[in-house]
């Protein structure tokens, strides 16, 4: 079994490349979307094992996209982690209120990223058994 297929929704190319590199190096498959609107469409079409999502994005921000993904029966069980440079507790609270299951802070702590992604996928697989 693959370690998991992860959808990264991120408008910043450098951030995307970094997270992709770290995940692929650890054996995950990565697919991508560059804004919230495309992210929602890709999530529904591809049914990834986990979604990592930036919050500040053009077209549709991450908070709105999180609400849509969690309102959709086909995608609501997919673990969704906000990828956020927002250091204010209020922004993280908003992400959780929008339906995110947790968040990963930028700058990325590599060990925390891999550990959190792995355990979130593990938990979701156990629940769907």
Q: Please report, as ranges, the residues that interact with Mn ion according to CB under 5 A.
A: 11, 54, 56-57
- Nearer Cβ to Mn ion (105/118): 105
- Nearer Cβ to Mn ion (14/129): 14
Q: 93: Cβ–Cβ under 8 A, 6 or more apart, which residues?
A: none
Rounded to whole angstroms, how far apart are CA atoms 94 and 52? 16
Measured from the CB of residue 15, what is the shortest distance to Mn ion in angstroms?
A: 7
Measured from the CB of residue 67, what is the shortest distance to Mn ion in angstroms?
A: 17
Instruction: Please give the order of strands across the beta sheet that includes 5-9.
Output: 29-33, 5-9, 50-54, 80-84, 102-105
- Nearer Cβ to Mn ion (11/101): 11
């Amino acid at each position: 079994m693959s370690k998991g297929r992860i959808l990264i929704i991120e408008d910043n190319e450098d951030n995307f490349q970094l997270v992709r590199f770290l995940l692929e190096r650890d054996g995950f498959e990565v697919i991508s979307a560059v804004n919230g609107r495309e992210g929602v469409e890709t999530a529904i079409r591809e049914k990834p094992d986990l979604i990592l999502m930036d919050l500040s994005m053009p077209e549709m921000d991450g908070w709105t996209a999180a609400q849509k993904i969690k309102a959709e029966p086909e995608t609501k069980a997919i673990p969704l982690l906000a990828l956020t440079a927002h250091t204010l507790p209020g922004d993280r609270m908003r992400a959780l209120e929008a339906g995110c299951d947790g968040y990963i802070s930028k700058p990325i702590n590599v060990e925390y990223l891999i550990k959190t992604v792995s355990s979130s996928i593990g938990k979701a697989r156990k629940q769907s058994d």
